[in-house]
Amino acid sequence: MPIDKRGVASELEANVETIESYLEDDSGIVERYLDAFQRLPDEWTSDEIRMALQDTSYPGAYPTDAFDNATNVIVPHPESDGWENHEEVNEWARDIVRDVPVMAVDGSQLPPTTQFNVPVAYVQSAWAVNHHHAEGRLDRSVEGRLLTPDEVTQESEDGDYRFVDSQLVGHHRYEHEGQLLIEKLSDLAAARDAGDIEYAPIVFYDGPLIASFANPLKPETRERYLSTLSRVIAASQHHEIPLVGYVAGSSATELVKMTRLLWREEFEDDRVIPDAHVLAELMSPWGDTTVPFISKRDGSVDALQATYEGETYEFRDDILFSYLNVPPGAGLDRIEFPGWLCRRDGPDGCESMYEYTVEIVRAEAGIGRGYPEILQQVDSDAVLDHQDRQEFHRVVQRWAESNDVPLEWNAKALSKELRRR
């Protein structure tokens, strides 16, 4: 049946005050934070900020050395000041990324086959490397993995039975994406070392490197996510391939939290608002970033550590972030990256690998009209739709028939299947 439009409208009307309160005008708060953000470099040094925040476990953020050399938390992008249309953005961006390989991985999944008496699932990850050659070169492929009943079911607490847990598919998908990204990152490093790549490649990670989303999970599940992410970051540092976690439309609050703690009396009665609400007021229409800051959001950062290729890596104070304005996407985007990018010299014309990386990220987002083109590519390649799900079921059935596996439909699923034919 179609959606009950009247019912939805009625529910919206009944909750109008709740929704309006969420959208409450916070311009007065924004103005106060705006003033504070502008005063930060004039009134504080990085050492003074660290000293003031030393008794707070997670004060939101710490400044980097770049803070002491800045007169503003905003780093302008003057090249864009005279641009009037996307064609000018595109022309600039394509010149910036010419012959620079960019790589990304994304994944998708098919849930467990509860239609059958045997639950199996499927995860796949797509990878792509755009070399940005004038003649065009896009390397891409998709790799998948079947999840067996043992991998998609859990034992009950009393041990009497096993049940299908669809959440396990997401855990496996995350690990599958991470492992594939590490493999392809390693391949890029080998190609660079062999002289097959002229310019330093950039790897895009679709999502944050600060895994706060894992905090509410069970300890063993949280560890799976953090372990995968730690190895990805460690691989970046080990192979010296820049890694960027890209978050579109960020609602993070690290800088606001840091500012509240530095001026406690001034902000004690104001609620926490997203950093982007303040920073957007300070940025020009296209391309500006912030100076990098160290994330001190929560314990998920402290837990990032891994052994990779025999070396131990810890990232407790070494996951950095900055904000990026690349319209027409809503709000500001955010990039998260390992600290070694700021400590490593960049190619000619760039003081550091961070400066080089930001320029490539900015250009790739420009080509993608507000979202990195390479991430759009792997998202399109990875997606699994309803037709893919049906084909997966048919493959499982054919396999069962050819191998004399006693696969059976459950009555409810069979009834649905027959009605939809």
d(CA 365, CA 249): 13
Domains of the chain: total: 1
Q: What percent of the chain has pLDDT over 70?
A: 94
Q: What is the pLDDT of residues 54-71, one digit of tens each?
A: 999 999 999 999 999 999
In a domain, 402, yes or no: no
pLDDT in tens, 236-261: 999 999 999 999 999 999 999 999 99
Asked if 400 contacts 407 with a C-beta cutoff of 8 angstroms, the reply is: yes
Q: What is the dihedral of CA 164, 166, 172, 177, to 10 degrees?
A: 160
Residue 421 belongs to a domain: no
270-287 pLDDT, tens digit each: 889 999 999 999 999 999
Instruction: Classify residue 343: in a domain, yes or no.
Output: yes
From CA 159, how far away is CA 213, in angstroms rounded?
29
User: Given the DSSP bridges, would you call strands 243-247 and 202-206 parallel, antiparallel or unpaired?
Assistant: parallel
Q: Answer whether residue 262 shows pLDDT above 90.
A: yes
Using only C-alpha atoms, the chain has a radius of gyration, in whole angstroms, of: 24
Long-range contacts formed by 77-82: CB under 8 A, 24+ apart: 77/284, 77/286, 77/287, 77/288, 77/289, 77/362, 79/287, 80/284, 80/285, 80/286, 80/287, 81/284
How many residues in total does the chain contain? 421
Beta bridge partners of 296: 60
Q: Is residue 238 part of a domain?
A: yes
In a domain, 180, yes or no: yes
- Whether the pLDDT of residue 368 is over 80: the answer is yes
Determine, yes or no, domain membership for 366. Answer: yes
Q: Per the domain annotation, does 102 fall within a domain?
A: yes
Q: Looking at the domain assignment, is residue 401 inside a domain? A: no
- Contact indicator for 335, 358 with CB cutoff of 8 Å: yes
* Cα–Cα distance measured from residue 314 to residue 307, given in angstroms and rounded to the nearest whole number: 9
pLDDT tens for 17-58 read 776 665 565 658 899 999 999 999 999 999 999 999 999 999
Residue 91 belongs to domain spanning: 25-384
